[in-house]
Amino acid sequence: MKKIFITGGAGYVGSSLVPKLLKEGYKITVFDLMIYGEHVIQPHENLVMIKGDIRDQKLLKKSLVNQDVVIHLACISNDPSFELNPTLGKSINLDAFEPLVKISKENKVKRFLYASSSSVYGIKEEKNVSEEMSLEPLTDYSKFKAKCEEILNNYADDNFIVSTIRPATVCGYAPRQRLDVIVNILTNHAYHKKEIQIFGGSQLRPNIHIDDMTRAYSVLIKADGNKINRETFNIGSTNHSVIEIAEKVKKNIGDEVKLVQIKSDDIRSYHISSKKIFEKLNFKTELTIEDAISDLKKAFDKKLLKNTLDDENFFNIKKMQKLAIK
């Protein structure tokens, strides 16, 4: 039975990925600060939860013994949270990365999957942004993601398979819910405020349903190492404009939802092509933005998510401000 070590496994993506991989028969170790609580992951006989900081090399060395695969999700997510404390962001998102890779390799980990970001491309005019295009990251968050990709590839060999994922923005319902990403923000506001404010509207935003995101990791765990070693994969579904996303939300939540368009100077667009992962690994997304909106609506209807406009646990930046991690 393969053993999988997931940093940030109690975060948004991790809280959906861990149950999926347990169901597939893997032994899972979650290594996480648990700032959103351990309750987001249900106990399981093949699950070990370690409350730890990825900057703690001593704990990493002890925890990474006898692991087969590392999935590195842990980071200070998104630009606003990162910019709250750039020194902290650098220490976690960049400085802690190479020691983690080195310790993983020294402990005979066979495969290392890294969650980068599609924001590493910066602004591109091309309709379909593919993996071989130049990286022009605009922020330190994105620059450090790009730097980590380079570091990781330097450690790759036939016995240490490495692969980088550049995901679109994840959306949909998860046990550890985020409501500070575009589809989830608009759905939350539509459902609870009956109004969506759209700044600009023409900007393209690539998204991916969280269940497709977790399925992609499952595919990469099983893939032939020769097909993924030192490879980078964009993973996303269709690229929609913000106004298109808002209209899809309104259609699902109800006609009473008011769309308020506000002029914005920030009309940056992000758009990615996921052709490569389909051609190499036969992976393509199966779910849509509409599915994500519908899943969130069901969660709201069932009262699975409460106080969704104010609870800091749904908003990374509010949580980071409250915790003041150093």
Please enumerate in sequence order all residues whose Cβ is within 8 A of that of 76, keeping only pairs 6 or more positions apart, or say none: 82, 85, 88, 89, 92, 93, 141, 320
**Is 3.40.50.720 the CATH number for 3-323?**
yes
Which residues on neighbouring strands pair with residue 281, listed in sequence order? none
Q: Is residue 211 within 8 Å of 255, Cβ to Cβ?
A: no
Nearest Cα neighbor of 233 from 288, 274, 279 is: 274
Name, in order, each residue with C-beta under 8 angstroms of 278's C-beta and a sequence gap of 6 or more: 284
Question: pLDDT 10s digit of each residue in the chain, 326 long?
Answer: 799 999 999 999 999 999 999 999 999 999 999 988 888 999 999 999 999 999 999 999 999 999 999 999 999 886 666 677 888 889 999 999 999 999 999 999 999 999 999 989 988 888 789 999 999 998 899 999 999 999 999 999 999 999 999 999 999 999 999 999 999 999 999 999 999 999 888 888 889 999 999 999 999 999 999 999 999 999 998 789 999 999 999 999 999 999 999 988 776 777 899 999 999 999 999 999 999 999 999 999 999 999 999 988 888 777 777 676 66
Tell me the domain boundaries of the chain: 3-323
pTM above 0.85, yes or no: yes
- CB count within 10 Å of CB 317 equals 17
